[in-house]
Structure 1
Amino acid sequence: MTGSGPSAYLQVAEQLRDRIASGEYPPGSQLPSLADLRAQYGFSHGVGQSAYRLLEQEGVVLAKQGRGYFVRDQEPPRPLVRHAGATGPDTTGLAEQGVTPSWRSQSTTEAASPAIAERLGIAPEDPVMHTSYVYLVDGEPGYLAESWEPMAVTGQALIVLPEAGPYSGIGIAARMARIGIEVGEPVEQVSARNLTRAEAQALTLLPGVPALAIRRTHYDRATGRPVETADLVLPGERWATRYGRPPGA
Protein backbone atom coordinates (compact mmCIF):
# COMPACT_ATOMS: atom_id res chain seq x y z
CA MET A 1 0.00 0.00 0.00
CA THR A 2 1.25 3.48 -0.75
CA GLY A 3 1.45 6.19 1.85
CA SER A 4 -1.49 8.49 2.46
CA GLY A 5 -1.70 12.25 2.20
CA PRO A 6 -1.37 14.83 -0.55
CA SER A 7 1.60 13.04 -2.14
CA ALA A 8 -0.22 9.71 -2.51
CA TYR A 9 -1.07 10.33 -6.16
CA LEU A 10 2.59 11.13 -6.88
CA GLN A 11 3.62 7.79 -5.40
CA VAL A 12 1.02 5.94 -7.47
CA ALA A 13 2.06 7.80 -10.62
CA GLU A 14 5.69 6.90 -9.97
CA GLN A 15 4.87 3.21 -9.53
CA LEU A 16 2.77 3.18 -12.70
CA ARG A 17 5.54 4.99 -14.56
CA ASP A 18 8.05 2.35 -13.42
CA ARG A 19 5.75 -0.51 -14.44
CA ILE A 20 5.35 1.03 -17.88
CA ALA A 21 9.09 1.62 -18.25
CA SER A 22 9.83 -2.01 -17.26
CA GLY A 23 7.63 -3.30 -20.09
CA GLU A 24 4.93 -4.71 -17.83
CA TYR A 25 2.53 -2.47 -19.73
CA PRO A 26 3.77 -2.06 -23.33
CA PRO A 27 2.66 0.77 -25.65
CA GLY A 28 -1.03 0.52 -26.51
CA SER A 29 -1.91 -1.76 -23.60
CA GLN A 30 -4.69 -0.98 -21.18
CA LEU A 31 -3.74 0.11 -17.67
CA PRO A 32 -5.55 -0.89 -14.47
CA SER A 33 -8.95 0.66 -13.90
CA LEU A 34 -9.49 3.00 -10.95
CA ALA A 35 -11.16 0.12 -9.10
CA ASP A 36 -8.15 -2.11 -9.81
CA LEU A 37 -5.75 0.57 -8.56
CA ARG A 38 -7.77 0.95 -5.37
CA ALA A 39 -7.61 -2.81 -4.81
CA GLN A 40 -3.85 -2.89 -5.49
CA TYR A 41 -2.76 0.19 -3.56
CA GLY A 42 -5.58 0.88 -1.13
CA PHE A 43 -6.55 4.48 -1.84
CA SER A 44 -9.54 6.42 -3.08
CA HIS A 45 -10.59 6.75 -6.72
CA GLY A 46 -9.64 10.42 -6.52
CA VAL A 47 -5.99 9.56 -5.93
CA GLY A 48 -6.00 7.23 -8.93
CA GLN A 49 -7.59 9.89 -11.13
CA SER A 50 -4.98 12.42 -10.05
CA ALA A 51 -2.17 9.95 -10.81
CA TYR A 52 -3.51 9.24 -14.28
CA ARG A 53 -4.09 12.94 -14.93
CA LEU A 54 -0.42 13.62 -14.13
CA LEU A 55 0.72 10.83 -16.45
CA GLU A 56 -1.54 12.22 -19.17
CA GLN A 57 0.06 15.63 -18.83
CA GLU A 58 3.49 13.99 -19.12
CA GLY A 59 2.40 12.25 -22.33
CA VAL A 60 2.80 8.77 -20.84
CA VAL A 61 -0.88 7.80 -20.64
CA LEU A 62 -3.82 8.24 -23.02
CA ALA A 63 -7.39 8.31 -21.65
CA LYS A 64 -10.15 7.03 -23.92
CA GLN A 65 -13.67 8.07 -23.05
CA GLY A 66 -15.65 5.10 -21.73
CA ARG A 67 -12.77 2.66 -22.28
CA GLY A 68 -10.17 3.51 -19.65
CA TYR A 69 -6.48 4.39 -19.61
CA PHE A 70 -3.86 3.17 -22.06
CA VAL A 71 -0.10 3.43 -22.44
CA ARG A 72 0.57 6.07 -25.07
CA ASP A 73 2.70 5.02 -28.01
CA GLN A 74 5.67 7.36 -27.86
CA GLU A 75 5.83 7.35 -31.64
CA PRO A 76 3.32 10.09 -32.51
CA PRO A 77 0.69 9.14 -35.08
CA ARG A 78 1.53 10.23 -38.59
CA PRO A 79 -0.39 13.44 -39.27
CA LEU A 80 -3.20 13.07 -41.78
CA VAL A 81 -3.85 15.78 -44.32
CA ARG A 82 -7.33 16.94 -45.15
CA HIS A 83 -7.43 18.63 -48.55
CA ALA A 84 -9.45 21.81 -48.18
CA GLY A 85 -12.08 22.31 -50.85
CA ALA A 86 -12.97 18.64 -51.03
CA THR A 87 -16.70 18.60 -51.73
CA GLY A 88 -17.36 15.40 -49.83
CA PRO A 89 -15.51 12.87 -47.69
CA ASP A 90 -11.93 12.93 -48.97
CA THR A 91 -11.76 9.16 -49.29
CA THR A 92 -9.30 9.24 -52.18
CA GLY A 93 -6.93 11.58 -50.36
CA LEU A 94 -7.02 9.50 -47.19
CA ALA A 95 -6.53 6.24 -49.09
CA GLU A 96 -3.45 7.77 -50.72
CA GLN A 97 -2.12 8.35 -47.19
CA GLY A 98 -2.38 4.66 -46.38
CA VAL A 99 -5.53 4.59 -44.27
CA THR A 100 -8.97 3.08 -44.81
CA PRO A 101 -11.70 5.73 -44.56
CA SER A 102 -15.38 5.19 -43.85
CA TRP A 103 -18.16 6.99 -42.00
CA ARG A 104 -21.35 6.70 -39.99
CA SER A 105 -24.18 9.18 -40.40
CA GLN A 106 -27.68 10.06 -39.25
CA SER A 107 -30.05 12.51 -40.98
CA THR A 108 -33.12 14.27 -39.58
CA THR A 109 -35.30 17.18 -40.65
CA GLU A 110 -35.49 20.07 -38.23
CA ALA A 111 -36.21 23.79 -37.98
CA ALA A 112 -33.19 25.98 -38.68
CA SER A 113 -31.74 27.73 -35.66
CA PRO A 114 -31.10 31.47 -36.04
CA ALA A 115 -27.36 30.83 -36.49
CA ILE A 116 -27.83 28.15 -39.17
CA ALA A 117 -30.54 30.20 -40.88
CA GLU A 118 -28.11 33.12 -41.18
CA ARG A 119 -25.44 30.90 -42.69
CA LEU A 120 -27.89 29.48 -45.23
CA GLY A 121 -29.62 32.75 -46.03
CA ILE A 122 -33.04 31.45 -44.96
CA ALA A 123 -35.53 32.39 -42.25
CA PRO A 124 -35.22 30.96 -38.74
CA GLU A 125 -37.44 27.91 -38.32
CA ASP A 126 -37.31 27.10 -42.05
CA PRO A 127 -36.89 23.35 -42.52
CA VAL A 128 -33.39 21.94 -43.08
CA MET A 129 -31.90 18.48 -43.46
CA HIS A 130 -29.40 18.00 -40.63
CA THR A 131 -26.85 15.19 -41.02
CA SER A 132 -24.39 14.18 -38.29
CA TYR A 133 -21.23 12.32 -39.32
CA VAL A 134 -18.54 10.37 -37.53
CA TYR A 135 -15.71 9.80 -40.01
CA LEU A 136 -13.61 6.71 -39.30
CA VAL A 137 -9.91 6.21 -39.99
CA ASP A 138 -8.96 2.54 -40.04
CA GLY A 139 -12.16 1.83 -38.15
CA GLU A 140 -11.51 4.34 -35.35
CA PRO A 141 -13.28 7.71 -34.97
CA GLY A 142 -11.17 10.28 -36.80
CA TYR A 143 -13.23 13.46 -37.06
CA LEU A 144 -16.78 14.80 -36.86
CA ALA A 145 -19.06 16.85 -39.08
CA GLU A 146 -22.52 18.41 -38.82
CA SER A 147 -24.15 19.40 -42.13
CA TRP A 148 -27.30 21.41 -42.89
CA GLU A 149 -29.07 21.77 -46.27
CA PRO A 150 -32.19 23.89 -46.93
CA MET A 151 -35.21 21.74 -47.67
CA ALA A 152 -36.29 24.49 -50.08
CA VAL A 153 -33.35 23.39 -52.25
CA THR A 154 -33.40 19.59 -51.90
CA GLY A 155 -36.76 18.72 -50.34
CA GLN A 156 -38.54 17.74 -53.56
CA ALA A 157 -35.64 15.73 -55.03
CA LEU A 158 -34.19 12.25 -54.63
CA ILE A 159 -30.98 13.79 -53.27
CA VAL A 160 -32.73 14.99 -50.10
CA LEU A 161 -31.02 12.36 -47.90
CA PRO A 162 -27.24 12.72 -48.25
CA GLU A 163 -26.48 9.15 -47.18
CA ALA A 164 -29.59 7.27 -48.36
CA GLY A 165 -31.40 6.73 -51.61
CA PRO A 166 -29.98 6.39 -55.14
CA TYR A 167 -27.44 9.23 -54.77
CA SER A 168 -26.10 8.48 -51.31
CA GLY A 169 -22.46 8.95 -50.49
CA ILE A 170 -21.43 10.74 -53.70
CA GLY A 171 -20.61 14.09 -52.11
CA ILE A 172 -22.28 17.47 -52.13
CA ALA A 173 -21.10 18.58 -55.60
CA ALA A 174 -22.31 15.45 -57.38
CA ARG A 175 -25.60 15.45 -55.49
CA MET A 176 -26.35 19.08 -56.27
CA ALA A 177 -25.43 18.53 -59.91
CA ARG A 178 -28.34 16.07 -60.08
CA ILE A 179 -30.73 18.99 -59.60
CA GLY A 180 -28.87 21.39 -61.88
CA ILE A 181 -26.84 23.22 -59.24
CA GLU A 182 -23.11 23.67 -59.74
CA VAL A 183 -21.14 24.33 -56.57
CA GLY A 184 -17.64 25.69 -56.59
CA GLU A 185 -14.99 25.29 -53.94
CA PRO A 186 -16.51 25.91 -50.50
CA VAL A 187 -15.73 28.88 -48.34
CA GLU A 188 -13.99 27.73 -45.15
CA GLN A 189 -13.24 29.47 -41.88
CA VAL A 190 -10.71 27.65 -39.68
CA SER A 191 -10.19 28.23 -35.96
CA ALA A 192 -8.74 26.37 -32.99
CA ARG A 193 -10.62 25.35 -29.86
CA ASN A 194 -10.96 22.46 -27.43
CA LEU A 195 -13.27 19.49 -27.87
CA THR A 196 -16.58 19.65 -26.06
CA ARG A 197 -17.63 16.77 -23.84
CA ALA A 198 -20.02 15.40 -26.49
CA GLU A 199 -17.39 15.66 -29.24
CA ALA A 200 -14.77 13.99 -27.07
CA GLN A 201 -17.15 11.14 -26.29
CA ALA A 202 -17.85 10.57 -29.99
CA LEU A 203 -14.11 10.55 -30.72
CA THR A 204 -13.23 8.44 -27.63
CA LEU A 205 -11.01 11.25 -26.36
CA LEU A 206 -11.08 13.51 -23.32
CA PRO A 207 -12.81 16.89 -23.25
CA GLY A 208 -10.40 19.76 -23.69
CA VAL A 209 -8.21 18.14 -26.37
CA PRO A 210 -7.19 20.80 -28.94
CA ALA A 211 -9.04 20.62 -32.24
CA LEU A 212 -9.38 22.31 -35.62
CA ALA A 213 -12.87 23.74 -36.06
CA ILE A 214 -13.83 24.36 -39.68
CA ARG A 215 -16.97 26.21 -40.76
CA ARG A 216 -17.64 25.32 -44.39
CA THR A 217 -20.32 26.61 -46.78
CA HIS A 218 -21.07 25.58 -50.37
CA TYR A 219 -22.74 28.04 -52.73
CA ASP A 220 -24.70 27.77 -55.98
CA ARG A 221 -22.28 29.33 -58.46
CA ALA A 222 -25.09 30.66 -60.62
CA THR A 223 -27.07 32.44 -57.92
CA GLY A 224 -24.68 32.78 -54.99
CA ARG A 225 -27.22 31.08 -52.75
CA PRO A 226 -25.82 28.88 -49.94
CA VAL A 227 -26.89 25.26 -50.49
CA GLU A 228 -25.03 23.56 -47.64
CA THR A 229 -23.19 24.58 -44.52
CA ALA A 230 -21.23 22.36 -42.17
CA ASP A 231 -19.11 22.32 -39.04
CA LEU A 232 -16.11 19.96 -39.08
CA VAL A 233 -14.13 19.09 -35.94
CA LEU A 234 -10.72 17.43 -36.30
CA PRO A 235 -8.46 16.50 -33.32
CA GLY A 236 -5.43 18.76 -33.66
CA GLU A 237 -2.81 16.15 -32.74
CA ARG A 238 -3.75 14.02 -35.75
CA TRP A 239 -4.84 16.40 -38.50
CA ALA A 240 -3.56 19.17 -40.73
CA THR A 241 -5.55 20.99 -43.41
CA ARG A 242 -3.88 21.79 -46.72
CA TYR A 243 -5.08 24.63 -48.94
CA GLY A 244 -4.26 24.60 -52.65
CA ARG A 245 -2.30 22.10 -54.70
CA PRO A 246 1.07 22.38 -56.43
CA PRO A 247 1.00 22.64 -60.24
CA GLY A 248 0.45 19.23 -61.80
CA ALA A 249 -0.69 17.63 -58.54
Structure 2
Amino acid sequence: MPREAPYLTLADVLRARILAGEWEIGERLPSRTRFAAEYGVGRNVVQRAMDRLIVDGLLEGRAGSGTYVRVPRERLRLVRSRHRERRDGSAPWHDRRERGRADAWDSHSQVRFPAPEPIAERLAIGPGDFCVRTRYEFLADGQPVQLSESWEPMAITEGTPIVLPERGPLAGKGVVERMRSIGVVVATVVEVPRPARATQVQANLLGISVGDLVLQIERTILDTDGRAVETADMVIPDVRREVVYEFGVDRP
Protein backbone atom coordinates (compact mmCIF):
# COMPACT_ATOMS: atom_id res chain seq x y z
CA MET A 1 0.00 0.00 0.00
CA PRO A 2 1.35 3.49 -0.82
CA ARG A 3 2.28 5.65 2.16
CA GLU A 4 0.27 8.76 2.90
CA ALA A 5 1.97 11.99 1.86
CA PRO A 6 3.88 13.53 4.83
CA TYR A 7 1.89 16.78 4.70
CA LEU A 8 -1.40 14.85 4.99
CA THR A 9 -0.08 12.99 8.04
CA LEU A 10 1.01 16.27 9.63
CA ALA A 11 -2.34 17.86 8.76
CA ASP A 12 -4.13 15.04 10.61
CA VAL A 13 -1.91 15.54 13.67
CA LEU A 14 -2.44 19.30 13.75
CA ARG A 15 -6.18 18.86 13.13
CA ALA A 16 -6.41 16.60 16.16
CA ARG A 17 -4.55 19.12 18.32
CA ILE A 18 -6.79 21.96 17.16
CA LEU A 19 -10.02 20.00 17.74
CA ALA A 20 -8.73 19.01 21.19
CA GLY A 21 -8.61 22.70 22.05
CA GLU A 22 -4.84 23.07 22.37
CA TRP A 23 -5.22 26.47 20.71
CA GLU A 24 -8.34 28.54 21.22
CA ILE A 25 -10.39 30.10 18.44
CA GLY A 26 -8.63 33.25 17.27
CA GLU A 27 -5.30 32.18 18.75
CA ARG A 28 -2.18 32.29 16.60
CA LEU A 29 -0.39 29.00 15.96
CA PRO A 30 3.35 28.57 16.45
CA SER A 31 5.56 29.34 13.47
CA ARG A 32 6.17 26.95 10.61
CA THR A 33 9.82 26.79 11.65
CA ARG A 34 8.84 25.56 15.11
CA PHE A 35 6.50 22.89 13.71
CA ALA A 36 9.15 21.78 11.22
CA ALA A 37 11.66 21.28 14.04
CA GLU A 38 9.08 19.59 16.30
CA TYR A 39 8.08 17.01 13.69
CA GLY A 40 11.36 16.68 11.81
CA VAL A 41 9.96 17.78 8.43
CA GLY A 42 10.67 20.56 5.98
CA ARG A 43 8.90 23.91 6.13
CA ASN A 44 7.25 23.13 2.79
CA VAL A 45 5.57 20.10 4.40
CA VAL A 46 4.30 22.32 7.22
CA GLN A 47 3.08 24.90 4.71
CA ARG A 48 1.13 22.31 2.72
CA ALA A 49 -0.36 20.85 5.91
CA MET A 50 -1.54 24.29 7.01
CA ASP A 51 -2.90 25.02 3.54
CA ARG A 52 -4.93 21.84 3.85
CA LEU A 53 -6.36 22.96 7.18
CA ILE A 54 -7.14 26.39 5.73
CA VAL A 55 -9.10 24.66 2.95
CA ASP A 56 -10.90 22.60 5.61
CA GLY A 57 -11.88 25.83 7.38
CA LEU A 58 -9.96 25.18 10.60
CA LEU A 59 -7.28 27.84 10.07
CA GLU A 60 -6.95 31.21 8.43
CA GLY A 61 -3.83 32.95 7.20
CA ARG A 62 -3.36 36.64 7.86
CA ALA A 63 -0.82 38.36 5.67
CA GLY A 64 2.22 39.47 7.64
CA SER A 65 0.78 38.15 10.90
CA GLY A 66 0.64 34.36 10.88
CA THR A 67 -1.88 31.52 10.94
CA TYR A 68 -4.82 31.51 13.34
CA VAL A 69 -7.50 29.10 14.49
CA ARG A 70 -10.60 30.09 12.60
CA VAL A 71 -14.18 30.36 13.82
CA PRO A 72 -15.83 27.21 12.40
CA ARG A 73 -17.80 27.86 9.23
CA GLU A 74 -20.04 25.62 7.19
CA ARG A 75 -18.66 25.02 3.69
CA LEU A 76 -21.65 25.12 1.35
CA ARG A 77 -21.92 23.20 -1.91
CA LEU A 78 -22.05 24.96 -5.28
CA VAL A 79 -23.04 22.68 -8.17
CA ARG A 80 -21.78 23.45 -11.68
CA SER A 81 -24.03 21.59 -14.12
CA ARG A 82 -25.53 21.81 -17.58
CA HIS A 83 -28.62 20.00 -16.30
CA ARG A 84 -30.06 22.87 -14.27
CA GLU A 85 -33.69 22.29 -15.26
CA ARG A 86 -35.80 19.24 -15.99
CA ARG A 87 -38.04 19.06 -19.04
CA ASP A 88 -41.11 19.54 -16.84
CA GLY A 89 -39.60 22.80 -15.53
CA SER A 90 -38.97 21.53 -12.01
CA ALA A 91 -35.67 22.06 -10.22
CA PRO A 92 -33.21 19.14 -10.24
CA TRP A 93 -32.55 17.36 -6.94
CA HIS A 94 -29.33 19.26 -6.17
CA ASP A 95 -31.09 22.62 -6.54
CA ARG A 96 -33.41 21.66 -3.72
CA ARG A 97 -30.52 20.51 -1.53
CA GLU A 98 -27.99 23.18 -2.47
CA ARG A 99 -28.17 25.82 0.25
CA GLY A 100 -26.48 29.17 0.06
CA ARG A 101 -27.00 29.71 -3.66
CA ALA A 102 -26.63 33.32 -4.77
CA ASP A 103 -29.99 35.07 -4.46
CA ALA A 104 -28.90 38.61 -5.36
CA TRP A 105 -26.10 40.39 -7.14
CA ASP A 106 -24.63 43.79 -7.85
CA SER A 107 -23.26 44.56 -11.31
CA HIS A 108 -21.52 47.33 -13.19
CA SER A 109 -21.14 47.34 -16.98
CA GLN A 110 -18.82 49.40 -19.16
CA VAL A 111 -19.42 49.61 -22.90
CA ARG A 112 -16.79 50.00 -25.63
CA PHE A 113 -14.12 48.70 -23.27
CA PRO A 114 -10.95 47.67 -25.19
CA ALA A 115 -10.20 43.97 -24.79
CA PRO A 116 -6.78 43.35 -23.19
CA GLU A 117 -4.63 40.81 -24.99
CA PRO A 118 -5.44 37.75 -22.80
CA ILE A 119 -9.20 38.40 -23.11
CA ALA A 120 -8.91 39.05 -26.84
CA GLU A 121 -7.14 35.72 -27.26
CA ARG A 122 -9.91 33.88 -25.41
CA LEU A 123 -12.58 35.61 -27.52
CA ALA A 124 -10.60 35.21 -30.79
CA ILE A 125 -10.81 38.96 -31.47
CA GLY A 126 -8.15 41.63 -31.90
CA PRO A 127 -6.51 43.23 -28.87
CA GLY A 128 -8.29 46.53 -28.27
CA ASP A 129 -11.52 45.42 -29.97
CA PHE A 130 -14.50 46.80 -28.08
CA CYS A 131 -16.33 44.68 -25.53
CA VAL A 132 -18.88 45.14 -22.78
CA ARG A 133 -17.17 44.40 -19.49
CA THR A 134 -19.43 43.60 -16.54
CA ARG A 135 -18.25 43.06 -13.00
CA TYR A 136 -20.49 41.12 -10.62
CA GLU A 137 -20.64 40.57 -6.87
CA PHE A 138 -22.96 37.67 -6.02
CA LEU A 139 -24.63 37.47 -2.60
CA ALA A 140 -26.32 34.68 -0.63
CA ASP A 141 -28.35 35.79 2.39
CA GLY A 142 -26.55 39.11 2.16
CA GLN A 143 -23.08 37.51 2.29
CA PRO A 144 -20.68 37.79 -0.68
CA VAL A 145 -20.07 34.34 -2.17
CA GLN A 146 -18.65 34.93 -5.66
CA LEU A 147 -17.08 37.54 -7.93
CA SER A 148 -17.17 37.53 -11.71
CA GLU A 149 -15.83 39.65 -14.54
CA SER A 150 -17.55 39.06 -17.88
CA TRP A 151 -16.55 40.17 -21.39
CA GLU A 152 -18.87 40.15 -24.43
CA PRO A 153 -17.67 41.26 -27.90
CA MET A 154 -19.61 44.29 -29.09
CA ALA A 155 -19.30 42.99 -32.65
CA ILE A 156 -22.03 40.53 -31.62
CA THR A 157 -24.29 42.63 -29.41
CA GLU A 158 -23.86 46.27 -30.47
CA GLY A 159 -27.12 47.80 -31.65
CA THR A 160 -29.23 45.05 -30.08
CA PRO A 161 -31.48 45.20 -26.99
CA ILE A 162 -29.10 42.91 -25.08
CA VAL A 163 -25.91 44.95 -25.31
CA LEU A 164 -26.05 45.52 -21.55
CA PRO A 165 -26.40 42.20 -19.65
CA GLU A 166 -28.32 43.75 -16.75
CA ARG A 167 -30.45 46.24 -18.71
CA GLY A 168 -33.21 45.91 -21.28
CA PRO A 169 -35.98 43.33 -21.76
CA LEU A 170 -33.77 40.32 -20.92
CA ALA A 171 -31.83 41.84 -18.04
CA GLY A 172 -30.35 39.16 -15.82
CA LYS A 173 -31.57 36.25 -17.98
CA GLY A 174 -28.10 34.85 -18.63
CA VAL A 175 -25.91 34.55 -21.69
CA VAL A 176 -27.74 31.60 -23.31
CA GLU A 177 -31.19 33.18 -23.31
CA ARG A 178 -29.95 36.65 -24.20
CA MET A 179 -27.91 35.41 -27.16
CA ARG A 180 -30.78 33.24 -28.38
CA SER A 181 -32.97 36.35 -28.58
CA ILE A 182 -30.69 37.78 -31.29
CA GLY A 183 -30.34 34.52 -33.20
CA VAL A 184 -27.10 33.31 -31.63
CA VAL A 185 -27.35 29.73 -30.37
CA VAL A 186 -24.98 28.69 -27.60
CA ALA A 187 -23.58 25.17 -28.03
CA THR A 188 -20.60 24.82 -25.68
CA VAL A 189 -19.39 26.08 -22.32
CA VAL A 190 -15.72 25.54 -21.44
CA GLU A 191 -14.56 26.02 -17.84
CA VAL A 192 -10.98 25.89 -16.57
CA PRO A 193 -10.76 25.86 -12.73
CA ARG A 194 -7.51 26.89 -11.04
CA PRO A 195 -6.62 27.34 -7.34
CA ALA A 196 -5.28 30.76 -6.36
CA ARG A 197 -4.77 33.10 -3.41
CA ALA A 198 -7.10 36.02 -2.73
CA THR A 199 -5.73 39.42 -3.66
CA GLN A 200 -6.35 42.46 -1.48
CA VAL A 201 -9.24 43.60 -3.69
CA GLN A 202 -10.82 40.14 -3.77
CA ALA A 203 -10.44 39.72 -0.02
CA ASN A 204 -12.10 43.08 0.62
CA LEU A 205 -15.06 42.25 -1.62
CA LEU A 206 -15.52 38.69 -0.36
CA GLY A 207 -14.93 39.39 3.32
CA ILE A 208 -12.03 36.95 3.60
CA SER A 209 -8.33 37.34 4.39
CA VAL A 210 -5.63 38.24 1.88
CA GLY A 211 -3.95 35.03 0.78
CA ASP A 212 -6.96 32.82 1.52
CA LEU A 213 -7.47 30.06 -1.01
CA VAL A 214 -9.94 30.81 -3.81
CA LEU A 215 -11.05 28.91 -6.87
CA GLN A 216 -10.72 30.86 -10.10
CA ILE A 217 -12.85 29.56 -12.98
CA GLU A 218 -12.10 30.74 -16.50
CA ARG A 219 -15.32 30.28 -18.48
CA THR A 220 -15.81 30.74 -22.22
CA ILE A 221 -19.16 30.31 -23.99
CA LEU A 222 -19.23 29.40 -27.69
CA ASP A 223 -22.00 29.30 -30.28
CA THR A 224 -22.73 26.56 -32.82
CA ASP A 225 -20.02 27.93 -35.14
CA GLY A 226 -17.39 27.76 -32.40
CA ARG A 227 -17.37 31.55 -31.99
CA ALA A 228 -16.79 32.84 -28.46
CA VAL A 229 -19.74 35.00 -27.40
CA GLU A 230 -18.62 35.59 -23.81
CA THR A 231 -15.71 34.89 -21.52
CA ALA A 232 -15.59 35.40 -17.78
CA ASP A 233 -13.35 35.00 -14.75
CA MET A 234 -15.15 33.82 -11.62
CA VAL A 235 -13.65 33.86 -8.12
CA ILE A 236 -15.13 31.65 -5.37
CA PRO A 237 -13.79 31.66 -1.78
CA ASP A 238 -12.68 28.09 -1.07
CA VAL A 239 -13.27 28.35 2.68
CA ARG A 240 -16.98 28.96 2.10
CA ARG A 241 -17.82 26.99 -1.03
CA GLU A 242 -17.29 23.45 -2.23
CA VAL A 243 -17.56 23.42 -6.04
CA VAL A 244 -18.98 20.24 -7.56
CA TYR A 245 -19.15 19.50 -11.30
CA GLU A 246 -22.05 17.39 -12.55
CA PHE A 247 -21.91 15.68 -15.96
CA GLY A 248 -24.66 13.93 -17.88
CA VAL A 249 -24.08 10.63 -19.67
CA ASP A 250 -25.09 10.34 -23.32
CA ARG A 251 -27.39 7.39 -23.81
CA PRO A 252 -26.92 5.09 -26.82
Query: Fold-level match, TM-score > 0.5?
Result: yes
Alpha-carbon distance, 1:83 to partner: 1.3
Contact map agreement 2:150 2:230 (CA 8 A) in 1: yes
Mark the runs of 5 or more structure 1 residues left unpaired by the alignment: 1-16, 22-30, 32-50
Contact map agreement 2:28 2:69 (CA 8 A) in 1: no
Q: 1:181 to 1:232 in 2, by over 3 A?
A: same
* 3-state SS of 1:185 partner: strand
Q: 1:247 to 1:137 in 2, by over 3 A?
A: farther
Q: 1:130 to 1:240 in 2, by over 3 A?
A: same
| Identity level (%) | 34
Q: 1:20 to 1:86 in 2, by over 3 A?
A: same
Whether 2:213 is the aligned partner of 1:227: answer no
Q: 1:61 to 1:194 in 2, by over 3 A?
A: closer
Alignment of 1:151-166 (within 5 A): 151-166=154-169
Contact map agreement 2:194 2:217 (CA 8 A) in 1: yes
* 3-state SS of 1:211 partner: strand
Contact map agreement 2:105 2:136 (CA 8 A) in 1: yes
Whether 2:193 is the aligned partner of 1:190: answer yes
The correspondence for 2:80, drawn from 77, 83, 97, is 83
CA deviation profile, 1:153-204 (whole Å, cap 9, x unmatched): 0111000111111110101000000000110230111111111111111101
Whether 2:226 is the aligned partner of 1:201: answer no
* 3-state SS of 1:143 partner: strand
* 3-state SS of 1:152 partner: helix
Letter in 1 for 2:232: A
Alpha-carbon distance, 1:98 to partner: 2.9
Q: 1:179 to 1:64 in 2, by over 3 A?
A: farther
The aligned counterpart of 1:107 is: 109
Letter in 2 for 1:236: D
Hey, which bits of structure 1, 4+ residues long, moved more than 3 A? 17-21, 51-55, 57-65, 70-73, 84-87, 92-96, 245-248
Letter in 1 for 2:131: V
Letter in 2 for 1:135: F
Q: Scaled by the length of structure 2, what TM-score is found?
A: 0.66
Contact map agreement 1:63 1:205 (CA 8 A) in 2: no
Alpha-carbon distance, 1:228 to partner: 0.2
Alpha-carbon distance, 1:78 to partner: 3.4
How many residues are paired up? 193
Letter in 2 for 1:161: L
Q: 1:86 to 1:144 in 2, by over 3 A?
A: farther
Contact map agreement 2:146 2:235 (CA 8 A) in 1: yes
- d(CA) in 1 for partners of 2:233 and 2:219? 6
